A and B are shown apart, each in its own frame.
Chain A
Amino acid sequence: MTESLLTITDLSIDSLRDGTRRRIVEGFNLSVRAGEIYGLVGESGSGKSISMMASVGLAAQGLDVRSGTVNFGTRRFAASDQKSLRGNLSHGVSLLFQNAKGALNPFITVGKQVERVLRRRRRSDIQGELKELFRVVGLNYADLGRKYPHQVSGGQAQRVAMACALATEPALLIADEPTTALDVTTEREMLRFLASICRQRNMAVVLIAHNLSLVSEYCSSLSILHAGQVVETGNLAPIFAEPLHPYTQGLIAAVPDVDSPRELVPLIGSVWGGSSELDRCRFSHRCPHAMPRCERRIPPAVKRDGREVHCVLYEQEVSA
């Protein structure tokens, strides 16, 4: 097993709004190896984007990073020092967002935008490198380089954003729902392309998604988040083959299947519906197996078949 590129340990984040403090990410751990696509899955509001942003020093205003350390390569940072994190990680990490058109400057041609990013790193042969970058993301510089963002399609805009992200030759790419705004047929192409780039450049990707079926094909490992707590994490194959956490099971059962009209089993309630107590399993209010113990402490991590599941159900089995 190769060394991990990015390791986040025990990241906790509070939100400060209207003078109240609320824990929105609790003890978040993550470890991504070079050349790997890592899936981070959760419903909206589960804290998946917030955790990743905070771990590269981009926590939004009104958020307070309480604890956590970030190891990037051989260096180690305290997550609470967002400024130094931002300064030190900005060269190694690139970001890709859902709304690519919104992320591009509407007044500058797409070619120039990529060029600007490129100039930060390189001094020579910028034009050659620019054409090469466009070729890598599957676009023709001669056709598209002089167009403005509103003149290109959604898929093309996402590829331009990708070119910007790749221009700095990052070791890690954080892709925050990069395909949500795209059509299904384009989405697949985009993901396949992301996977091939990742292989070629030995670049790590954290793919943030709200849907398990999106990460199923391209990720080797994943974490599933619920209300700021990791519920299940590890290798993808065992998790999908036999999901252990009730939330993972629920998520899989809730997605309609293209290949068969099987009945859906919806999860009840909503992500933040439970009480705001800190020391509890934050899924218990939606969990079919909830018991009094779930309300009393944060569920322990139980290791099994290449993954960790955070649920008291399995702790019992281990001790018994």
Chain B
Amino acid sequence: MNMQDSALLPAPATSGAPPRRSMWNRFYFGLFGGDFLGLIGMALLAVLVFVAAFGPLLVTHDPLLTTPDTLLPPSAEHWLGTDHFGRDVFSRTVTSLRIDFIVAGAGVSGAILIGSIIGLVCGYIGGWFDDLVMRLVDIIQSFPLLLVAMVLVLVMGPSVESIVVVTVLINIPIYARVIRGETLRKKNLEYIDAARCSGASEMSIVFRHLMPNTLSPIVVHGSLNLAAAVGNVAVLSFLGIGIRPPTPDLGVMVAEGTNYLVQGAWWMSICPGLVLATTIFSLNLMGDWLEGRLDPRRSAA
């Protein structure tokens, strides 16, 4: 190349220096785009995740230890009172939160993993294979949650594992469908053709070029789905086909507490119930925030 071309070099894409802004402004407007509810959701969720993660260090009592001090109201000793077996409600709530997060998280991650691969492969290959697999996915989706849960619990026995499997199974169709749609939309784009011209193998095209570009809707669906999954685990446990007592679970605790509501022991179900509601609420807020954040029309701005 010659001299003229140095003149031809395009100017850098970013123009000038951006105006300086305070840390808070950059955090609030930059990351949250001024979305106050998103900020609240993330803050709440951060607290809940912290509590769940460090649960064993935070508990004041053994969550499974029964004592003669039954149905004590909240006090300095038992922050959220005790239940009908004299167990500490605070310690049980913290432990439940941890277990529910793990079960819902494992279930949703499993569903994302399996569902994405199904969607990616079906969308990319197409044809009869796609038709066949997607009809199977339709069949899974047509079973109600409770039916799948009952059948699986019957086969696998009531355990944490079976609830994880139920969560995986019930959520696979969501991800298979979302990723398949995204794959169909992206597989004919020019950069995929460019990769093919660059000698990329089919495997590399699917997993290296296509997959990273189809995953963004998962983040949004995942966080909304996690909220639903936490709720479902609690519902199943509440109904007695999920996590079984004495293992603490928010659903189990609410269920047990309802029997003592009439006796005035409100703390037994209200406290875990509020934690459950807060968890679902904060996950939903985060989902909404992510949806706005990852919207290409907004992120392009």
Contacts and interface: CB of A to CB of B under 8 A. Distances in A.
Contacts of A19: 21, 25, 29, 34
Given A18-B30, A19-B29, A270 B301 contact: no
Contacts of B8: 266, 268
A77 B7 CA distance: 46
Given A18-B29, A19-B25, A269-B10, A274 B301 contact: no
A104 B36 CA distance: 37
B16 A276 contact: yes
B19 interface: yes
Nearest to A17: B301
Contacts of B301: 17-18
Interface string B3-21: 0000110110001101101
Contacts of A274: 15-16
Contacts of A268: 7-8, 11
A83 to B, nearest CB: 24
A10 to B, nearest CB: 25
A6 B65 CA distance: 84
Contact of B16 (A18, A269, A275): A275
Given A19-B25, A276-B16, A270 B10 contact: yes
A139 B15 CA distance: 48
A275 B17 CA distance: 8
Nearest to B19: A20
Interface string A9-38: 000000001111000000000000000000
A85 to B, nearest CB: 25
A218 interface: no
A210 interface: no
Nearest to B7: A268
Interface string A257-274: 000000000101110111
Residue of B7, B16, B21, B34 with most partner-chain A CB within 10 A: B16
A146 to B, nearest CB: 33
A62 to B, nearest CB: 8
B11 A270 contact: yes
Nearest to B25: A19
Secondary structure at chain B's binding surface: helix, strand, loop or mixed? loop
Contact of A273 (B11, B21, B34): B11
Interface residues on B, range: 10 to 19
A285 interface: yes
A276 B18 CA distance: 9
Contacts of A17: 301
Nearest to A266: B8
Residue of A18, A20, A270, A274 with most partner-chain B CB within 10 A: A18
Contacts of A272: 15
Contact of B15 (A20, A266, A276): A276
Interface string B130-144: 000000000000000
Contacts of A18: 29-30, 33, 301
Contacts of A266: 8
Contacts of B11: 268-270, 273, 285
Contacts of A269: 10-11
Nearest to A15: B301
A20 B18 contact: yes
Contacts of B34: 19
A184 B21 CA distance: 48
B188 to A, nearest CB: 20
A266 B9 CA distance: 11
B299 to A, nearest CB: 11
Interface in B1-55: 7-8, 10-11, 15-16, 18-19, 21, 25, 29-30, 33-34
17 contacts: A17-B301, A18-B30, A19-B21, A19-B29, A19-B34, A20-B19, A268-B7, A268-B11, A269-B11, A270-B10, A273-B15, A274-B15, A274-B16, A275-B15, A275-B16, A276-B15, A276-B16
Interface of A: 17-20, 266, 268-270, 272-276, 285
Given A19-B25, A19-B34, 15 more contacts: A18-B29, A18-B33, A18-B301, A19-B29, A20-B18, A20-B19, A20-B21, A268-B8, A269-B10, A273-B11, A273-B15, A275-B15, A275-B16, A276-B15, A285-B11
Which 5 residue pairs spanning A and B have beta carbons closest together?
A273-B11, A19-B29, A269-B11, A275-B16, A276-B16
